[in-house]
């Protein structure tokens, strides 16, 4: 965003830098325990004895962590703690709906990620048909549930273009709270995104309410021309053109699991 005016609601700033820390994964002993092989303490003994491999290499380091994308073997046999996890980030264009199938035979996000995996993927959260931007698809049910739960307060950053200039008073109201038919909703941060065009707004929000950003602006008398999600849970659209997808790397998966 270009024009960073201080409209906020005493929470984190809208201009969040992408976390640069590597993903931590989970402890190897917990991974083995989750597979039902043994308790964690016994798993430590097996690790010390050199009976555990990660990606083809023996690991005997206590506290070693693994990512869901890595292959773990115990005494030469694959540890199937869970199925191979796949994490795909899509930059959704308009006119695609966020479902795995559609009875009206409309285009879905699944049409855009064909070939991404042999595993069955599911979208995490939703973007309505006319909203563009980031959406995660995965077969990791635990992570999907975690990211969808209100207590996680997953941050989402949107760029929105409305039909007229947004007043400062309305920016302040967006931050303090807007009454919707299903309760109050407020932005974590909101600001003008253009030095000259006050109809372009950046808004960060963690609410899981359906179509919440559109409804907040509509409740204040604005018509939404464009809505684009540019950040989701620390992930950005950098080097990801509209309509394209990519597999997340370990660092990006780590951001989701924080």
Q: Which residues are catalytic?
A: 128
Please state the separation of Cα 123 from the chain's center in Å. Answer: 10
CA-to-CA distance for 101 and 139, rounded, in angstroms?
16
Burial class (CB in 10 A: 0-12, 13-18, 19+), 7: buried
DSSP string, 91-152: EE-TT-BSSS--TT---BHHHHSTTS-SSPPEEES---TT-EEEEEEES-HHHHHHHHSGGG
Q: Which of 230, 238, 14, 252 is nearest to 132 (CA)?
A: 230
Strand 224-232 relative to strand 132-138: parallel, antiparallel, unpaired?
parallel
Q: Tokens for 105, please give them.
A: 């035979």
């Amino acid at each position: 965003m270009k024009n960073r005016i201080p409209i906020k609601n005493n929470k984190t700033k809208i201009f969040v830098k992408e976390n640069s820390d590597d993903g931590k994964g989970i402890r190897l002993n917990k991974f083995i325990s989750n597979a039902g092989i043994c308790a964690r303490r016994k798993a430590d003994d097996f690790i010390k004895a050199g009976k555990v491999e990660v990606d083809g290499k023996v690991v005997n380091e206590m506290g070693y962590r693994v990512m869901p994308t890595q292959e773990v073997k115990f005494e030469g046999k694959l540890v199937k703690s869970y199925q191979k996890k796949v994490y795909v980030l899509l930059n959704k264009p308009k006119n695609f709906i966020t479902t795995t199938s559609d009875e009206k035979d409309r285009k879905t996000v699944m049409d855009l990620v064909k070939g991404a995996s042999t595993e069955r993927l599911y979208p995490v959260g939703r973007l309505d048909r006319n909203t563009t931007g980031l959406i995660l698809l995965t077969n990791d049910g635990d992570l999907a549930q975690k990211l969808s739960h209100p207590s996680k307060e997953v941050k989402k950053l949107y760029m929105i273009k409305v039909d007229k200039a947004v007043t400062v008073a309305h920016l302040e109201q967006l931050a303090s709270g807007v009454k919707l038919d299903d309760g109050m909703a407020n932005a974590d941060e909101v600001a003008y995104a253009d030095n000259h065009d006050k109809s372009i707004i950046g808004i960060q929000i963690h609410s899981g309410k359906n179509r919440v950003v559109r409804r907040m602006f509509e409740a204040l008398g604005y018509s939404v021309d464009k809505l684009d999600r540019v950040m989701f849970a620390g992930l950005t659209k950098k080097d990801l053109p509209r309509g394209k997808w990519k597999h997340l790397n370990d660092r990006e998966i780590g951001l989701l699991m924080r």
